[in-house]
Structure 1
Amino acid sequence: MTARIIVVGNEKGGSGKTTIATNLAVLSALNGIDTLLVDADPGQKSSALWASHRLEGHPDYPRISCVERSDGRTIGPVIEDLATRYQTLIVDTGAVDSPALRACAMVADTLVVPVQPDALDVWALPTIANIYDRAQQLNPKLQARIVVNRILHQSAERAPAELREWMLQETPTLATHPFTTLVARAAYGRATGEGVGVCELKGRELDAKAANEMRAVYEAISQ
């Protein structure tokens, strides 16, 4: 059986790729799916550090296996090989328009695009749209999911609608895919710092709204 391959990618730094990738891995594991998290960011290695922190600090939590792979020349075949050993692969790519990101898109089932509703993130969308368009020409099964991330509370309804309107004009092939939203909440940072998913926070640390938002993202990507 070949795993479902989910690539979280955007060449814009700070869009929230690692937060989303690690939370998707947690939710997948909690659903009983044999999951591998692949850190394809050679610079920061954030997902690998998160997985190590999780194993050390929470050995009783579902284990998230994580490997580091970033060589754009070889990562495509490596991902396909790993996909024969797991049910789901979640790939956290670096914040550059890298050969690794393009190679991963060529073998993925889903490209998850986190984007903050601000000018710098929005201006970077044509690059990721180009990566998606080219990859889908040779990988027709590839689908996209847009995660509008770190939305301010006061613009939680307006910002996604305005972003979609802009994308329909500038990046139409991405704009037609499902959108989900994550409001800027402190719980995401707390969870990442502890090596857990936002839905695993307990007691006073638990933010039910954040947990429900991330579950909605997971469900949209799992469709």
Structure 2
Amino acid sequence: MIVTVGNTKGGVGKTTLALNLAIARAIAGRDVWLIDGDRQGTAQTAITVRSEAGRQPRIACAQYADGSTLRAQVQQVGPKFQDIVIDAGGRDSTALRAALVLSDVLVVPFAPRSLDVWALADICSLIDEARSVRDGLRAVAVLNNADASGQDNEEAVEALADFPQLQYLATPIRRRKALANAAGQGMSVLELSPKDGKAVEEITALINAVFNSI
């Protein structure tokens, strides 16, 4: 299964979610390949930190910021893996466009802020283009860095009605220090000690919604 975590808007937490998805699948015993499609290489850096710390399970990771290279490598090497998680975006890029055509599922993180919601129009345009080339892309939106309380979460979800390309996953990920702490060590919140039970619950719900739906 190929899952891309992507958005044309930066700062939505896609790398943190991609890390958590990839590591969780590896913990579950799957052969996982994490692909960093961002020129900043943050996901690859996190996996390097993980490797240097000797953490298990090890995660295969490669960086392909060029779309044609990413496409060729996934087509050639991808069949060796059970799951591929691609971290792409932050802007409209050839890597993001290639990932959309290759993927079974696109996970679009967005924050409960007007700028994030408005920016969904750009990724939805790319979804339409990808679906014109290849049928079957499932695109889901997940509320990331959600507020603990207040109306902003609800209003952001209601605004998704303007974007029929996206299916909303009712698995919000709230702002939690555990997520940042884990990612900084190349870890998932599932591995962090002491555990943040609420963070684990939210990430587990997202993983189940993404991987158990196809």
TM-score, normalised via structure 2 length: 0.94
Q: Is the 8 A contact 2:105 2:137 kept in 1?
A: yes
Listed as ranges, the gaps of 5+ residues in structure 1 are none
Counterpart in 2 of 1:29? 26
Q: Is the 8 A contact 1:146 1:180 kept in 2?
A: no
Residue 178 of structure 1: CA displacement? 3.1
1:220 aligns with 2:212: no
Residue 202 of structure 1: CA displacement? 1.2
1:190 aligns with 2:187: no
Counterpart in 1 of 2:90? 95
Residue 164 of structure 1: CA displacement? 2.8
1:14 aligns with 2:5: no
Counterpart in 2 of 1:162? 155
Aligned match for 2:46, one of 32, 43, 50: 50
Go from structure 1 to structure 2 and tell me whether the alpha carbon gap of 1:45 and 1:219 turns closer, same or farther (over 3 Å shift). Answer: same
TM-score, normalised via structure 1 length: 0.91
1:75-129 deviation line (CA, Å, top 9, x unaligned) = 2232222221100000001311111101110110000100001011111100001
1:118-142 deviation line (CA, Å, top 9, x unaligned) = 0111111000011112211222111
Amino acid at match of 1:105: L
Percent identical among aligned pairs is 37
* SS of residue matched to 1:127: helix
Residue 60 of structure 1: CA displacement? 4.1
Residue 6 of structure 1: CA displacement? 0.5
Residue 177 of structure 1: CA displacement? 4.5
Listed as ranges, the gaps of 5+ residues in structure 2 are none
The runs of at least 4 aligned residues of structure 1 exceeding 4 Å deviation read: none
The total of aligned residue pairs comes to 212
Taking the TM superposition and a 5 Å limit, the aligned residue runs for 1:20-169 are: 20-42=17-39, 44-57=40-53, 59-155=54-150, 158-169=151-162
User: d(CA) in 1 for partners of 2:176 and 2:43?
Assistant: 20
Q: Is the 8 A contact 2:113 2:152 kept in 1?
A: no
User: d(CA) in 1 for partners of 2:200 and 2:133?
Assistant: 36
